[in-house]
Chain A
Amino acid sequence: MSTQTPAIDIEKLRKVYTRGKEEVTAIQEISLQIPEGKFVSIVGPSGCGKSTFLHIVGGFIPKSTGTVRIRGKEVDKPGPDRGMMFQESALFPWKNVYDNVAWGLEVQGVEKAKRDEIVEHYLKLVHLWDFRNNLPSELSGGMKQRISLARVLAFNPDVLLMDEPFGALDAQTREKMQVELQRIWQESNKSVMFVTHDIDEAVFLSDIVVVFSGRPAVIKEIIEIDFARPRQLDVHKTQEFMDIRNHIWDLLHQEHSKSGEDEF
């Protein structure tokens, strides 16, 4: 395989929603190339089109124009080469933790012994093997998101798409999850596209932060971040971290005063 082929290659992507006669342009035009194995975050004001963007890359909704290529292959429908973690929990409430994680492998026809091995590996990776017999409704928000991550990792996608996965968690759980995600990502060597509206989260986790404008979305700036890995939480306290975080804050803030809308 050519090393030049980006893991994710998006060219002139545009999305217009039509609701009856009304048209809403969610994404103006976005082009973006992500190399293999990178952790990329997308930040932007709420309602700017971040989920829309991820849903198109995942193949769940149709784009208006443009192309999306994963490892050089054009995609227009969902597939297990891209593992999606949705904004809300998509765990099946009628299946226990174990069967949720095994589900994708089962429908893909992976044999039982192999399946058991994979499920055990990923449930142990997210430290929830002891909860394998519980129903999702019996777990906390943070645990549910870890199970969702295990479920996605289990079918071994090339790219992880994560839509504000920690958005509903309290600050402390959130930081713990960020550290854990970094560890898991480093072990897996996958490309990640991570949507968040939390600037700190984006800077802490990412190799690349992509800043979206308000709706309709265009890319405002692409920022490379090269703190050494694995990063510890106290990287937050460094001057460099704060400078980057302030710069992104300014970008988003301009956006707010420009659009004149109060999103918060």
Chain B
Amino acid sequence: MKKGWNIIVQYQSLIWIVVAWEIIAFMQVMPERLFPSLGKVVVVAIDLISSGMLMENLPTTLFRVFAGFALAAVVGVPLGLLMSRSAKLNDVMQPMFSLGYPIPRVALYPILVFILGLGSASKVSLIFIECLFPIVLNTYYGATRVGKIYLWAGQNMGASSSQIFWRILLPATMPTIFTGLKIALPLAFIIAVLTEMIGSTVGMGYLLSYMSASLMQEKVLACVLLITLVGYLLNLLLQVIQRKYVFWQ
């Protein structure tokens, strides 16, 4: 009982927005075409699911998100760890990441499209680049702060440098690696939807721009609702994985 109430208190801002929305929609302050009631939006969203339109577009978007994100993790985590171990490598890579961080990397998209076309390759590449930054920087930061006695203990027990790298440095850095991954995943999803809106024939972003063309607000909002839901589930998935791998924190 108490727990249920806590959850309601925690998410109350959401409830206020819904209530305010429904009041405005009910009083018809704006034309219904522009401001439909949420009930109607949900009905349309369910229709998008049952008509199969969601399943025509969602897998492509998810594929792009996971491909770009996973690539960035597979490259970024070892790179961040290596940068913490080698001053030389860090001198080479650090300026690129520090200086590149504030640049809006979405600006690279037209260039990527020019090289790779409008298909998945350019989108996955942009997601990869975008995700690489928070993953490398957080991994590097975390790895430089791993207590040296863990590494010393490993050396003491006769571990090789690769054993120390993969079996001590990596797990010891895991908490901050996940900080990076949790920043990167929503970015990946945002970039996927955004690039699909620009020029694409499939994907959640495409679905959204297609719905906009219908000039029916409830269809657009239904699409936004589904995108939000998927984004939320992705974050949840990452949290579950984190709890499994960073259980000692």
Contacts and interface: CB of A to CB of B under 8 A. Distances in A.
Interface of A: 58-60, 77-80, 82-84, 86, 88, 90, 92-94, 103-104, 107-108, 135, 137, 151-152, 155
A84 B153 contact: yes
B165 to A, nearest CB: 12
A22 B116 CA distance: 54
Interface of B: 147, 149-150, 152-160, 163, 167-168, 171-172, 174, 246-248
Contact of B167 (A79, A86, A93, A107): A107
A58 B172 CA distance: 22
B149 A90 contact: yes
Nearest to A82: B156
B126 to A, nearest CB: 34
- Identify which of B150, B157, B159 gathers the most chain A CB atoms within 10 Å of its CB: B157
B156 A83 contact: yes
Nearest to A86: B149
Contact of B158 (A86, A94, A104, A135): A104
Given A92-B168, A107-B163, A151-B157, 12 more contacts: A60-B152, A78-B152, A80-B158, A90-B147, A90-B150, A92-B171, A93-B248, A94-B171, A104-B157, A108-B158, A135-B248, A152-B156
Given A90-B150, A92-B171, A107-B163, A58 B248 contact: no
B100 to A, nearest CB: 30
Contacts of A83: 156
B248 A155 contact: no
A88 B248 contact: no
Contact of B172 (A86, A94, A137): A94
Given A88-B149, A90-B150, A94-B248, A60 B158 contact: no
Contacts of B246: 94
Contacts of A94: 171-172, 174, 246-248
A251 B102 CA distance: 60
Contacts of B163: 107
A92 B157 contact: no
B155 A60 contact: yes
A78 B156 contact: yes
A165 to B, nearest CB: 13
Which 4 residue pairs spanning A and B have beta carbons closest together?
Answer: A104-B157, A78-B155, A90-B153, A80-B158
Contacts of B152: 58, 60, 78, 84, 86, 90
B85 to A, nearest CB: 16
Nearest to B164: A107
A171 B168 CA distance: 33
Q: Which of A78, A82, A92, A94 has the most CB of B within 10 A?
A: A94
Contacts of B147: 88, 90
11 contacts: A58-B156, A60-B155, A77-B155, A78-B156, A80-B157, A80-B158, A88-B149, A104-B156, A107-B157, A107-B160, A151-B157
Contact of A80 (B156, B168, B247, B248): B156
A60 B151 CA distance: 10
Contacts of A77: 155
Contacts of A78: 152, 155-156
A60 B248 CA distance: 27
